[in-house]
A = this chain, B = another copy of it.
Amino acid sequence: MARPRQSLLTRQRIVEAASALVDREGLEAVSVRRLATELGVRGPSLYNHFSTKAEILDAVADAIVAQVDVSAFATHDWREALRLWAHSYHAALSAHPNIVPVLAHGPGRRPATLAMADTVYGALIKAGWSEARATHIGALMRYLITGSALGSFALGFSGDPQLYEQYPHLHRAHLLAGQHKCVDDGAFALGLDTLLNGLDSLLLKNGPNR
C-alpha cells in the first residue's frame, strides 16, 4: 500500500494518539517511530501532517490548554475569576502532568494558549491593573501553575528512609510520597489564596488606576 484512497492519518488522530502515549508512558516514550506504529503506519508518514516532532507535542499541549475553563472572567470579579481559572488550569495539568515541560516555556505559537493569555490579561487590565502589574500577575500565575504541575513536590522525595538519616529535620520525608495529592494540592491552594488576598489589598491600597 502506497496511498489509500482515504488518508490513513489526520492531524487530529495523530494528536490523540500522541496525547494518550504521553499520558500513559511519559514524554520520553514518544518517538516518531513509536507513535507511527501505534497509528498503524511508518515513521516518515507523520511528516505529511506535521513538519517536526515538536510541532506534534505543541499540538498536544494546546489541546489540553484548550480544556481550561476561562468562563469565570465573564461572570466574576477579577479576583474570583483568577482563582477559578487557576484551579481549572491546575486541574487540567494535573490530569496530564507529562506534557507540562512542553508548555512550561510559554504560549509560543499555540492558538488556545494565546487565546487564554489574551483573556486573562484583558480581565486584569479591565480590573484596573496597570499594564506592568497585569503582566507581573500573569507571569506569577504561570510560575505557580506550571511550577506546581511540573512535578509533585512530595514525590520529589524518595520513599527510602535511609536516605534521610543524616538530615536532622527530614526524618519523615520518606512518608511524603504517600500523601502527595494532599501535600501538593494543599500547597497550591495555600499559595493561590495567599497571593490573591495580597494582590487584592495592593489594588485597593493603590487605587483602581495603579
**Which residues of A line the B interface, CB within 8 A?**
101, 104-109, 114-115, 117-119, 121-122, 125, 131-133, 135-140, 142-148, 150-158, 163-164, 167-170, 172-173, 176, 183-184, 186-188, 190-191, 194-195, 197-199, 202
Contact = CB atoms under 8 A, between A and B. Distances in A.
5 contacts: A106-B153, A114-B163, A117-B170, A121-B169, A146-B150
Contact of A187 (B106, B118, B139, B186): B139
A83 to B, nearest CB: 14
Given A101-B101, A139-B187, A143-B191, A170 B106 contact: no
A186 B138 CA distance: 12
A140 B185 CA distance: 10
Contact of A167 (B101, B108, B114): B114
- The list of the 10 closest CB pairs from A to B, nearest first, reads A106-B156, A147-B147, A139-B187, A143-B147, A194-B198, A139-B153, A122-B169, A105-B151, A118-B167, A136-B187
A168 B144 CA distance: 25
Given A150-B147, A169-B118, A170-B118, A186 B132 contact: yes
A157 B107 contact: yes
Contact of A144 (B105, B147, B186): B147
A146 B147 CA distance: 6
